[in-house]
Every structure is written in structure tokens, then in C-alpha cells.
Structure 1
Amino acid sequence: MKRYPSSLLLAFAVAFCNMGAYRSSKLVVALFAAHLGADAMDVGVIVSLYALVPLMLAVYAGRITDRLGMVGPIVGGTAGVVLGLLVPWLWPGLPGLYVSAGLLGGSYVFYHVAIQKLVGTISTPETRSQNFAAYSMVLAVATFVGPLVFGYSIDQVGHPRTYLFIAAMALTTIILLLAFKAVLPARARSGEEHGGPVFDLLANPGLRRALITSGVILTGIDLFSFYLPIYGHQIGLSATVIGRIIAMFALASFVVRVAMPRLVAMSSEERVLGWSLAVSGGTYLLFPFFTDAWILAAIAFVLGLGLGCGQPLSMMLTYMRAPPGRSGEALGLRLTVNHFSHVVVPLVFGAIGTAFGLAPVFWINAAFLAGGGFLTRRRA
């Protein structure tokens, strides 16, 4: 069994707590909004707030990380996440959900850029692919555990108190990092040389492809995270059952990430990404045709197999192809691309869902993913 350095284990523990809290908040906000009578357009606007603020801050967060190191942005960003999670507990209504979503998105981006760079900084060229794969598996476990636990919590104690429990999970991140900060290498606590216009990064075709692919993949993941709960609510599934269906997606993501290094070795990064998008597009076509929870869980599992390996591959390629001293900025640019799609897509799909129902939301996204897979395979 591979032994990881203590610094990387600390990064994994921090990532587990923060990702579990963040992903769980997306489940809770969708169900809480539906409980309060919000329609698909309302949910689409709330979803877009998770991405609108980080859209404007992601590159800046990357530059701050390059300049100051990773510990400060992780702690500061997580503190903002905790505050955002407390808002619906203190202010349980749709206005509170709007404020919470914006605060969560704006705070999480500082943590998100810094933790990705931390994994890359700790790694050597020989261990980087394995470490990013392991990091992505930690995220998959957190995404599995969070909705499973907090979906059950909603049924037992309600939405506002569940937000309080999620905030406690995020707070654990700060406690861990401050208690064990000494195990991190010095370069993780200090900055680097930096400079140059951000658009210079787009001159690298490999980096540019990684950015585009990442945006396509995360669009599929986010639409699943937000619209599967709405669909489940419409067909009468409980929050616990919906949480279990989402957890199956996370379980499949974990399984495929275990096999990801071997898949890449047998083919190439671009071909694996292309097939993952094609499989995901085909899977999205199936959701509106079924209401049985077991079948929906099986479909979610296949979707997780399709989308699960795309994130770590695009993340790793972004870090590796960034100019020296600008890896944080490149990762921030990756998040900017992701969040641009997060802002636009929920608003567009929210309007479509309100006007025509949820089935076209799934089908149009299927075409989007399949088209991205075709273009990616052509580049391979």
C-alpha cells in the first residue's frame, strides 16, 4: 500500500471536510428552495450565485495564492464558507439562501485554488499523477458521504439545523490546518515569483484544451447536483433517497478514479476525456424516462463513471502546463472558465425547466456533453 507524506495526508483531510461541506450545501439549498416553494428559475438563480462571485475572483485568488502561499487562502476561504453555511440557519428563507450561495461561492474559490496548488506543490514529477488521482478520490468519498449523511439529516431535523451541522464540518478544516501547519513544506507557506497578463496563459494550446474540457465536465456535474434533487422532489422521492442516488454518483467517481492511471496508460488523457464525455451524454438522456429510485441510482452510477475521471485529469494538466510561478493563476483561470459556465448554464437551463419541464434540461445537456466528447476525441 502506498505511503503518503504527512503533508499530503493533511491536505487530504482538509479537502475531505471542505468538499463534503460544500457539496452537501448544494443538495440542501436545492431541497430547501423547493421546500420553500421556489420554481426551477429561482433555483437556477441561486445556483448561479455559487458561481457568479468566484467567476470574478478566481484569477485574483490564484494570484494571491502564488504571492502569499497556500495556508492563508485555505484558512480565510474556509472561514467564509462557515459564515455562508450559518446564514440559512440564522435566516431560514429564500433571501437567506441567496446570500448564503453568494458567500459560499466567493469564499470557496480562495480555498479551492489553494488546495489544488498545495497538492501539486507537495508532489514530485514522479508522484504527481498518483497524488492528484488520490486527491480526487478523497473528493469522491466526501461527495459520497456528505449527501448521504446530510440528506438523512434533513429528514430528521430539517433544513436550517442541517446547515448548522454542515458548518461544523467545514470548521474542522480550519482546526486541522492550524493544528498541523508545521508539517507542510516551507514553499506551501510562502509565495513565488509571478507576473504576466492572464491571457498569455491561453497561448498554450494544451492548457487551453484542459480549460475548455474542465468547463464542459463541471457543467454536467453541477446540473446533476442541482436538477436531480428537483426531479426527485417532483416524483415524490424523500431527501434520504435523493441523497442516496447522488451518493451513487460519488461512489462511481471513486471507482473510476482508482482505475484512471491505468486507463490513461492504455490510451491517452485526451481519449479518456473524450469517452467520459460521450458516456455522460448518453446517460443524461435516460433520466427523464424513469421514476424508480433503484433505476435512477444505477443511471447516476454510470454517469459517475463517465464524469468521474475528467476533473482530476484537467486539474493535473492545468497545473503541469502552467508557466513557472503561475500555477495558482492557471488554476484560477480554470475555475473562471468553470464558473462562467456555472453562471450561464443554470440561468439558461432554469428558464428552460420553468417553461418546458425538466426533461429538456437533461436532453440538452446530453447533447452538450456528447458534442464535447466528439471534439475532444478528434483532438486526441
Structure 2
Amino acid sequence: MSRELILLIAGQSLTHACMAGMRLAAPLQALRQGYSEVAVGVLIALFALTQVFLALPSGRYADRHGLKRPVRYAVIAAAAGAGLAAIWPIFPVLCVSALLTGGATGSSVIALQRHAGRAAQTPTQLKQVFSWLAIGPAFSNFFGPFIAGLLIDGAGFRAAFLAMALLPIATWLAMRRATELPPVIQPPGERRPRAWDLLRDTTFRRVLLVNWFLSSCWDVHTFVVPVLGHERGFSASVIGTLLGAFAIAAGLIRVVLPMVAAFLREWALIFGAMIATGVLLGIYPLLQTPLAMGLCSVLLGVALGCVQPMVMSMLHQITPEHRHGEAVGLRMMVIQASSVTMPLLFGAAGAAVGVAGVFWAVGVWVLGGSRVAWLLRDDRKS
């Protein structure tokens, strides 16, 4: 692993850890101040909401200005968001903090992913780079909440918010040492780019679609497993272990992928992940013991954890170089919009057909969608 890639992983992890820690601390603070679960749900949604609207403009900005300028502005926004919560930890300020830290994290990730893709020289390197880079969020989803939780118990919420404000600053210290790549010149005579131009490409639409299918499966596991565990009388620690096993498996498979990247075909891995995910979602509600459910969570983590690096590799291969940032931003916009809306649909569906019905419906849905991944096989040949 090169020094440059280590810097990119560190930069992405630290900014993402800020948001992950805030996503734990801000709702807890709101609950302790007496706000309802509905208000807390809105607060949590705000972390993703900003990314929906900023993803595409952030991608275009990264295409024009490269790595360091977008990351610098993202660092300022994230540090300001967490810092405001440390100074005035009241609910309206916490909402502003959620918007700032969420949007900043999304913008910095887009710039970092675009830079990493441009630095790779071959399809194999693309798969390796994005496999290593995908380890960052898996680590930060543990590190940020862990540090925030320790500080909340030991020193209070203000200390936790202040610590989260320092993490983006550490990101900038890492990014200052990164090497800026030469700018990409837009071909002369080309009109101002529009997102619709990218969506006209059949392969691009199929890649986004399979990513949406599998991202929704990630959301259903995160949202429905706690409900299923609660129905069966599992303790909070057992439910947390089930979710933790899923996250650890998703992270570990990304450690393995770079070592075997030369032997992998993106479409085949994505197709296999969709088939495996559909089957596992069908089995999951039939399992009764924590051990069996934990094993199923691990297998789901392996299946879903290997998808993002393959999707990012394909996006960079099928998109013009001067629009890589826009393509990454469009992907993030779709994923974050799904993260905002799908839990609402899962909740409504769960009330109508039960938790098991949600698992089975999504399993059938993703199995049907696997045909889109199979069609990517023909796209890669053409």
C-alpha cells in the first residue's frame, strides 16, 4: 500500500468518524433533553439529507478543483458543525450540526474517491485502491461512536462534541501531504455537463441500479434486525453484536479483496452478491437463535461488503475522466436518498406485513434485480 493511499484512507476515516460520532452523540443529547423519538428520527435523517442535495454539486466542484480545495472546505464545515454543538448543545443547533457534518463528510468522500480513482492506472489497480479505501468507513463507524461514547460517559457531551470537531482538522493535516494530480481539461467544444448525459449511458444506469438494490439491502439489515431482535426478546447487547458482526464481516472482506483483485470480474462479483443477499434475506427471519442469526449477519456482511469497491471501479472505467467527480456524486446522491426514504418504507411495510415479510419482499426484489447485474456482463464485453 502506497503512502498516498494511506493518506487518503486516513483522511476519509477521520472525517467520516466525526460524522459517525456526532450521529451517536447528537441523538443521545436530544433524548436527554426530553425530545421525542420522532424529533430524534428527524435529527438522524438530517445527516444524510444534506448529502442528497450536495453530492452532485460537490462532484462537479471536485472535477474543477481537484482534491485539496474541496477537502479544505469540508474540513471547515465539519469542524464548525461539531464545534457549534460543543458551544450550544441545544436541539436547533444539533440539527445545524447534523446538516454541516453530514454534508461535509459526503463532499470530502467524493473528492477523495475521485482522486483515488484517477491515481489508479489499470482496472486491477482500481479494484485494489477502492477495496483499501472502503476499509475507512468500516473503521470510522466503530472509532467515532466509540470515542464519543467514552467521552460522554467520562466528561460529558461538550467534550465529545469538541473531540469530534478535532477529527476533521486531523484530516486536513493528512491531506496537506497528499499530492495533487494535474487538472483534467474538459474537451474543447463540449457543452456544460448535465447529469442526464451520464444517465443516458445504459451501463452507467445499470451500475447505479445494482448499487441501489444492494444499498437498500444494507439499510434493511440495519433497520429491521433490531426490530426482529426486540420481538424475540433479545437484549440490547445481543442485537448490537448482530449488527457488529455484520459490520466487521463487511470490513474484513474489503481487506481480502485487494489481494485477489486481479482475479475478480466486477460484474460477476456483483451478480453473486445479489444472489447471495436475496437468499440470505429469505432465510434470516426463519432463524430463531442469536448464533444462527449472527452467522447469517456475517454472510450478509461478506456479500454486501464486497460490492462498493467493484461499483466504484466500474464507474471510473465507464465515465469520462473529466466527469469522475460528477459520477461519484451522482452515485452518492442515489444512495443517500435511499437511506432517507427506505427506512420509512420498511417501517410502513413492517406494520402492514410484519418484519419477516419485509425481509422476504426485499429478498425477492434483489433476486429479481440480479438480472441487471447479469446484463453488465454483456456491457463489459462490448
1:220 is aligned to: 217
Structure 1 segment 178-257 matched on structure 2, within 5 A: 178=173, 181=176, 183-187=177-181, 192-193=185-186, 195-229=192-226, 235=233, 237-238=235-236, 241-257=238-254
- Report the counterpart of residue 117 of structure 2 in structure 1: 120
- Going from structure 1 to structure 2, the CA distance change for 1:288 and 1:263 (only over 3 Å counts) comes to same
Contact kept, 8 Å, 2:68 with 2:175, in 1: the verdict is no
Alignment of 1:193-342 (within 5 A): 193=186, 195-229=192-226, 235=233, 237-238=235-236, 241-260=238-257, 266=263, 268-289=265-286, 292-342=289-339
SS where residue 124 of structure 1 aligns?
A: coil
**Is the CA contact (8 Å cut-off) linking 2:68 and 2:180 kept in structure 1?**
no
Change (3 A) 1:364 1:231: same
- Out of 160, 165, 168, the position equivalent to 1:165 is 160
Instruction: Give the 3 Å change call, closer, same or farther, for CA 178–213 of structure 1 in structure 2.
Output: same
User: How far does residue 73 in structure 1 lie from its aligned partner after superposition?
Assistant: 1.7
Distance 1:225 1:166, change over 3 A: farther
Q: 1:8 to 1:286 in 2, by over 3 A?
A: same
Quick one: which of 166, 170, 179 aligns to 1:175?
170
* Structure 1 contact 84–104 (Cα < 8 Å) conserved: yes
- Number of the residue aligned with 2:133: 135
TM-score by length of 2: 0.80
Query: Matched residue of 1:187: which SS?
Result: coil
CA contact (8 A) 1:44 1:347 kept: no
Answer yes or no: is the 8 Å Cα contact 2:274–2:366 preserved in 1: yes
Contact 1:44 1:349 in 2 (8 A): no
Instruction: Go from structure 1 to structure 2 and tell me whether the alpha carbon gap of 1:376 and 1:156 turns closer, same or farther (over 3 Å shift).
Output: same
Q: Write the distance in 1 (CA, Å) between the matches of 2:148 and 2:167.
A: 20
Contact 1:78–1:170 (CA under 8 A) maintained in structure 2: no
Single out whichever of 28-37 and 264-273 deviates more from structure 2: 28-37
Judge which range, 366-375 or 353-362, deviates more.
353-362
Larger CA deviation: 314-323 vs 229-238: 229-238
User: Do the aligned partners of 1:54 and 1:336 also contact (CA within 8 Å) in 2?
Assistant: yes
Match in the other structure for 2:380: none
TM-superposition CA deviations, 1:315-363 (whole Å, max 9, x none) = 1211222113111111111112222322331222233345565444433
Distance apart, 1:10 and its partner CA: 0.9
Q: State the Cα distance separating 1:55 from its structure 2 match.
A: 1.8
AA aligned opposite 1:168 = A
1:162-201: CA deviation from partner (whole Å, max 9, x where unpaired): x8537625633423423661x322327x675384222111
In 1, are the aligned partners of 2:22 and 2:164 still within 8 Å (CA)? no
Structure 2: stretches of 5+ with no match in the other structure = 378-382
Query: For the residues of structure 2 that align with 1:175 and 1:142, how far apart are their CA atoms?
Result: 14
Give the Cα separation in 2 of the matches to 1:340 and 1:33: 24
Aligned partner of 1:106 in structure 2 is 103
* Change in 2 beyond 3 A, CA 1:294/1:361: same
Q: Distance in 1 between matches of 2:159 and 2:347?
A: 28
State the alpha-carbon separation in 1 of the partners of residues 24 and 352 from structure 2.
Answer: 23
User: What one-letter code is carried by the residue in structure 1 that aligns with 2:211?
Assistant: S
**1:83-102 to 2 correspondence within 5 Å?**
83-85=80-82, 90-91=88-89, 98-102=95-99
Unaligned regions of 5+ residues in structure 1, if any?
none
Identity %: 28
Contact 1:263 1:272 in 2 (8 A): no
- SS of the aligned residue for 1:127 comes to helix
Give how far 1:287 is off: 4.5
Instruction: Tell me the distance in 2 between the aligned counterparts of 1:273 and 1:304.
Output: 14
Aligned partners of 2:175 and 2:56: how far apart in 1? 28
Structure number with bigger Rg: 2
Asked whether the 8 Å contact 2:250–2:301 carries over to 1, the reply is yes
The alpha-carbon distance between structure 1 residues 97 and 241, as it changes in their structure 2 partners (threshold 3 A), is farther
Kindly state the Cα deviation for residue 295 of structure 1 after the two structures are TM-superposed: 3.8
Q: Closer, same or farther in 2 for the Cα pair 1:353/1:170, shift >3 Å?
A: farther
Q: Distance in 2 between matches of 1:271 and 1:342?
A: 25
Partner of 1:64: 61
- Quickly say closer, same or farther: Cα 1:349–1:96, change in 2 above 3 A: farther
One-letter code of the match for 1:187? Answer: L
Measured at CA, do residues 279 and 31 of structure 1 come closer, stay the same or move farther in structure 2, by a change above 3 Å?
farther
Aligned residues: 369
Q: 1:356 to 1:42 in 2, by over 3 A?
A: farther
Q: Distance in 1 between matches of 2:227 and 2:28?
A: 7
- Note the C-alpha offset of 1:61: 0.5
Quote how far apart the aligned CAs of 1:38 are: 5.2
